Structure 1
Amino acid sequence: MDSLVTSAVAVGGTLAGASLTYLFGWLTARRAEAVARREQLRRDRIAAYTSFAGAITDLRQAVITLWFTHQGDADPASAQTEADRRGATADHARFTVRLLTEDPAVLHLVDETFAPITAIAEAPDLAALKEHEARSQTALDTFIQAAGRHVR
């Protein structure tokens, strides 16, 4: 009878040990999976934020070029095409940021970066263009600062 009890305790201990090992392994795997998911989201956000900032900078430069083209005697068709292409690239980058960000403040800043660029295209003179260009850079800097909090 003693050997039966000893065997039952040994089997019970083995089952408990195996169950605890499985449980701890499962918890560790879930924790590692969550960490990997957060790190991948962080990397994706960094890529999206930097792509957006670059696209906005390129768009601003193209719109300024278009403005100067309109002021001179040159045909603005190619400058308009380039500005449109860069605008589409900036929109694509905006959509990517929207997919990866839930923060309403960051999403608002993304949209706000476009307003000064639109104003650049409609600037009546060089002084107004420079003012809108500065506003555009300030808006972009504000976005970068807010977005940076999500990846640090």
Structure 2
Amino acid sequence: MNTILASAVAVVGTLIGSWSTYLFQRRTVERTEAANREERLRQERLAAYSAYAGAVTDLKRALITLWFRRRRTPGDEELAAAQLESDRLGAVAESAAFRLRLVADEPVLRPLMEAISAELGEIVHAEDRQAVIAIEARFEQAVTAFIDAAAAQVR
């Protein structure tokens, strides 16, 4: 009888040990998967923030080029090429903004993105070169504020 009882206790002990090992391994796997998901999301956000900042900076450059070309020789082929390039880069920037909102729709970033867009929109209305320089400085400040806020989101 003692042997049967000892065997039963051993079996129960083995089952409890196996069950607890399973539970610990399952929790470890769940934590690892959650950490991997978080890291992938962080990487996607980082890529989206970088792509957006790069796209709006390229767009700013193209809009300034277009501004200068309009004042130099309106109607020439360079002006048409500059218009096409600014349109293309505008679409790239818009696409980057859409992706950013899908991956990281952070409320703190929305007004910063709006400030960037507002400065971009002002470039075409600039009266003279000094106005362009002032708009460009405000644009750079807006992009810096965006990058600082975005960096805080991925830390």
What secondary structure is seen at the aligned counterpart in 2 of 1:62?
Answer: helix
Residue range with higher mean Cα deviation, 102-111 or 79-88: 102-111
What secondary structure is seen at the aligned counterpart in 2 of 1:90?
Answer: helix
> How far has the Cα of 1:107 moved from its partner?
2.5
Given residue 63 of structure 1, which amino acid in structure 2 is its aligned partner? L
1:112 matched residue in structure 2 = 115
| 1:1-152 to 2 correspondences below 5 Å | 1-74=1-74, 75=76, 76-152=79-155
Query: What stretches of structure 1 move > 4 A for 4+ residues in a row?
Result: none
Q: Distance in 2 between matches of 1:41 and 1:92?
A: 19
For structure 2, which runs of at least 5 residues remain unmatched after alignment? none
1:99-149: CA deviation from partner (whole Å, max 9, x where unpaired): 121320112212321110110111111111111111111100000000000
> How far has the Cα of 1:150 moved from its partner?
1.4
Does structure 2 conserve the Cα–Cα contact (< 8 Å) formed by 1:49 and 1:144?
Answer: yes
1:59-105: CA deviation from partner (whole Å, max 9, x where unpaired): 00000000001101152211110000000111111111111213201
Q: Distance in 1 between matches of 2:42 and 2:135?
A: 32
TM-score (norm 2): 0.94
CA RMSD of aligned residues (A): 1.0
> How far has the Cα of 1:7 moved from its partner?
1.2
1:30-71: CA deviation from partner (whole Å, max 9, x where unpaired): 000011111111111111111111111100000000000110
Number of matched pairs: 152
Given residue 45 of structure 1, which amino acid in structure 2 is its aligned partner? R
Does structure 2 conserve the Cα–Cα contact (< 8 Å) formed by 1:52 and 1:97?
Answer: yes
Residue range with higher mean Cα deviation, 135-144 or 68-77: 68-77
Given residue 32 of structure 2, which amino acid in structure 1 is its aligned partner? A
For structure 1, which runs of at least 5 residues remain unmatched after alignment? none
Given residue 59 of structure 1, which amino acid in structure 2 is its aligned partner? L
TM-score (norm 1): 0.96
